[in-house]
Amino acid sequence: MKITCPKSELTNALSIVAKAIASKPQTPILAGIFMRAENGILELHATNNEIGMVCRIPVDIEEPGQIAVSGRYFLDVIRKLPGDSLTITYNRTEKIINITSNQASFTLLSMNAAEFPTVKEIESNVEFTIKDNILRSLIKKTVFACSKDESRPVFTGCYLEVADNKVTMAATNMHRLAVKYEQFAEPLGNIKIIIPANILQELLHNMTSDIPTDVHVCCNFNQISFAFDNIYMTSRLIEGAYPDYNYVIPPNHDTLVTLDSAEFNAAVDRVSLISRAGDYNVIKMEFANGQLHITSNNPDIGNAEETIPASIEGPEVTIAFNAQYITDVMKIIDSKNCELRLTKPLSPMTVREEKDDAFIYVVTPVRTAH
């Protein structure tokens, strides 16, 4: 193999696929990046057996072929090369890879490319195409609500339900729930799966196109893949039954509160400076007289209070929450105002964007001694 390509494009492609390399690979070959050059395209593969990443870039090919090389040093070397263009040559006899750019020359030992478990296209039960901005919104508005606790694996992923024309994504850690859905003009099929949060975070990171792009999603009961631009990503799914979360969503409410989103977020963030030192980060919210009064108290530190204007329809109510569960959702609220729906001090509160039924967040209050 012998290729020449711009340094910037190879650096970008390597940064993307290198995310699939585990910090402690299960087998030595999984520390590698596989590259295949043919028909004017260099295809890069990396995998940790859980997730797989493929990226394709156009290159000048003097001699087609395939190689594998330790990902760690390869990326460092490519990044630091002095020139704008670089040449990679595989020396089959000595099993070494030579990289040159301007006056710099590196030689890296190669790995056995034939041994590399390249990332394969998955067989799909359901496949559909979705605009990247819509997929980004489905993920961004739910994935933050996943649990980090590996002892309950199903909660470390986002639940994806495709039901005819409707795609719903949901996530919960048992204390709060985020649900976002999208309606499509055409039916897309039917499937219910749980996608690991980390691949969704990686997907958000990689969907950087400025113009709306199509993302082709394929899934079966074990795997999911996302194809867009020059990137192909696959991931294993989380096994297990996702609980029916609909019963958690309060069917009705007594009090409807409308708040300025940025003002509410900043106030909760400030008041929680005092509460976050405690075990449960508890802030108290008192909705009365056209105002929200937020307070926190820690006997070892002091207390904080802040009052912001609130439009309140219905009975006054005082309720307490883990402040983190409020600031988490406020980070992803896009609308200028947000709506809180409440019933009783010990019943869940819902948070919605203004005039948008396609997103709902439910958070369980904390019991406090008033």
Q: Which two three-digit tokens encode residue 341?
A: 């729906």
Answer for the pair 105, 88: CB distance below 8 angstroms, yes or no.
Answer: no
CA distance 143 to 298: 31
CB of 217 to its own copies, least distance (A): 38
Q: Which two three-digit tokens encode residue 335?
A: 């609308």
CA distance 65 to 213: 31
Nearer to its own copies, 240 or 302 (CB): 302
* Bridge partner residues of 65 (DSSP): 37
Nearer to its own copies, 294 or 366 (CB): 294
Contact flag: residue 328 with its own copies (CB under 8 A) = no
CA distance 56 to 77: 20
Nearer to its own copies, 208 or 303 (CB): 303
CB of 266 to its own copies, least distance (A): 6
Number of residues near its own copies (by CB under 8 A) = 33
CA distance 61 to 358: 49
* Residues in 255-274 that interact with its own copies by CB under 8 A: 266-267, 269-271, 273-274
CB of 248 to its own copies, least distance (A): 32
CA distance 176 to 350: 10
Strands (E), 96-156: 96-101, 104-111, 126-131
* Residues in 272-291 that interact with its own copies by CB under 8 A: 273-274, 277
CB of 267 to its own copies, least distance (A): 7
* Residues in 81-110 that interact with its own copies by CB under 8 A: 81-82, 96-97, 103-109
* Bridge partner residues of 313 (DSSP): 256
Among residues 303, 336, 354, 356, the one that binds its own copies under rule CB under 8 A: 303
CB of 40 to its own copies, least distance (A): 27
DSSP string, 26-95: SSGGGGEEEEEEETTEEEEEEE-SSEEEEEEEE-EEEE-EEEEEEHHHHHHHHHH-SSSEEEEEEETTTT
Applying CB under 8 A, which part among 27-35, 233-241, 302-310, 343-351 lies near its own copies? 302-310
CB of 318 to its own copies, least distance (A): 18
Among residues 301, 334, 335, 367, the one that binds its own copies under rule CB under 8 A: 301
CB of 277 to its own copies, least distance (A): 8
Residue 228 φ/ψ region, left for φ over 0, alpha for ψ in the -120 to 50 degree band, beta for the rest: beta
* Bridge partner residues of 287 (DSSP): 292, 317
Nearer to its own copies, 8 or 307 (CB): 307
Q: Is 46 exposed, middle or buried (0-12, 13-18, 19+ CB in 10 A)?
A: buried
Contact flag: residue 39 with its own copies (CB under 8 A) = no
Nearer to its own copies, 31 or 145 (CB): 31
Among residues 134, 163, 204, 308, the one that binds its own copies under rule CB under 8 A: 308
Q: Which two three-digit tokens encode residue 143?
A: 């994935």
Nearer to its own copies, 238 or 267 (CB): 267
Question: For binding to its own copies (CB under 8 A), which residues are involved?
Answer: 70, 73, 76-77, 80-82, 96-97, 103-109, 266-267, 269-271, 273-274, 277, 300-308
